[in-house]
Structure 1
Amino acid sequence: MKIVLITGSSRQASNSTYLAKTMLAGLPFTELELKTFTLQPIVDHRHDREWPRVADDYPRLIKQVLTAQVIIFATPIYWYGMSGLMKTFIDRWSESLKLVQGFREGMKGKQVYLVLVGGDRPRKKGQLIEQQFRYICEFLQMNFKAVLIGEANRPLEIKNDQAALQLAAQLGHQLKRDGDQHA
């Protein structure tokens, strides 16, 4: 079972990345750290005859995602939404729907986990992001498995959220069991 972790934090000592990696402890995965790639913002050409190709790292990233069975999205909660890096990446999926043959079929059935971390009542305020990801999964017929929300603000403060760390470990064990069943 191939797992891809997509991290959307701009911070070096990222709470959301730490929590996601806690969940994935002992499991093989590929990390796509969005801040290390060049991603251009979407220019909507859905209703044009052609969609011009953009010279950036997006095609390489989406190929990795298409080969995965499990996708973990990890993002801080910035201004009550996902990070701009994550939003830009997902916005580019409109391009893939038009340019990547089999994109919709390739996304269908993928297992999706969402990891969110914020410092201002994230379990309440992260619900909007969770709902957004549920709609994204519904649209592409992906399987939204779980959301993991932690509370932290300062770098690596997530280490103090024992409830989130415990849930991360539980989700990781479930992922491992699921992977063992499919092996």
Structure 2
Amino acid sequence: MNRRFLFLLGSARTEGNTELLAREAAAQLPGAVEQRWIRLADHPLPDFADLRHDVDHTAPSPDSTAGLLLDATLAATDIVIASPLYWYSVSGLTKRYLDHWSGWLRTPGLDFRATLAGRTLWGVAALAHREASVAAPYVGTLNNSAAYMGMRFGGVLLGNGSGPGDVLQDTDALTRAKTFFAQDAPLARFPYEAAREG
């Protein structure tokens, strides 16, 4: 299967540090690798309603925001969550997208979990803090989500940046970006292991 990368931009602002770092890493992918970029702020999802004990979930309309994101997710071999670190975890836009996975898991005939099993989840994040360990909850969220789905987890590419464009001065992050997507991603396992950070 040819690799198809889905980049989900979870920042409220355009061309922020997280997006810049994700684009640096994506630039290293071979030209034949398909890339699709979706800015979650441009496709806002409604709050997720947990109906599992009330009614069966139904597949979203293909022309709805949820339908667009579901189709893009199912088509991807590699899903990249590019969300800045907000209060030590993913952004609200990103969390809402992940919450909708719960409904897609319970949609009859969708086989959401079986389709994503074996595919790879990645993360890219910019943070203002100099100590990378503050991102452990963020990395744990993605690792544990991947483990639950039977996915591979490529880890999280972290960069430092607060002001506009600051991450482009983080030479360590830019060096890691050059080979980030070239690594072999292992199957995610519970619990999250801090050693995967970086």
TM > 0.5 fold call: yes
- Per-residue CA deviations over 1:109-149 (Å, capped at 9, x if unaligned) read 11111111110235111111101111101100010012111
Structure 2 CA distance for aligned equivalents of residues 26 and 152 of structure 1 = 21
In structure 2, relative to structure 1, the CA distance for the partners of 1:174 and 1:53 (3 Å cut) is: closer
Give the CA deviation at 1:50.
2.8
Structure 2 CA distance for aligned equivalents of residues 16 and 137 of structure 1 = 21
What TM-score, normalized to structure 1?
0.89
Gaps (5+ residues) in structure 2? 185-198
Structure 2 CA distance for aligned equivalents of residues 57 and 97 of structure 1 = 17
1:114 match: 123
Tell whether the 8 Å contact from 2:18 to 2:84 is kept in structure 1 after alignment: yes
In structure 2, relative to structure 1, the CA distance for the partners of 1:26 and 1:134 (3 Å cut) is: closer
Q: 1:77 aligns with which of 81, 85, 101?
A: 85
What TM-score, normalized to structure 2?
0.82
> What do you get for the CA RMSD once the two structures are aligned?
1.8
1:150 match: 159
In structure 2, relative to structure 1, the CA distance for the partners of 1:81 and 1:64 (3 Å cut) is: same
Tell whether the 8 Å contact from 2:89 to 2:141 is kept in structure 1 after alignment: no
1:181 match: none
Give the CA deviation at 1:79.
1.3
Give the CA deviation at 1:174.
4.4
User: What is the 5 A alignment of 1:56-67?
Assistant: 56-67=64-75
Gaps (5+ residues) in structure 1? 176-183
Structure 1 CA distance for aligned equivalents of residues 60 and 122 of structure 2 = 28
1:46 match: 52
Structure 2 CA distance for aligned equivalents of residues 122 and 107 of structure 1 = 32
2:9 match: 7
- Which of the pair is proportionally richer in helix? 1
* Runs of 4+ residues over 6 Å off in structure 1: 52-55
1:17 match: 19
- Alignment coverage as a number of residue pairs: 175
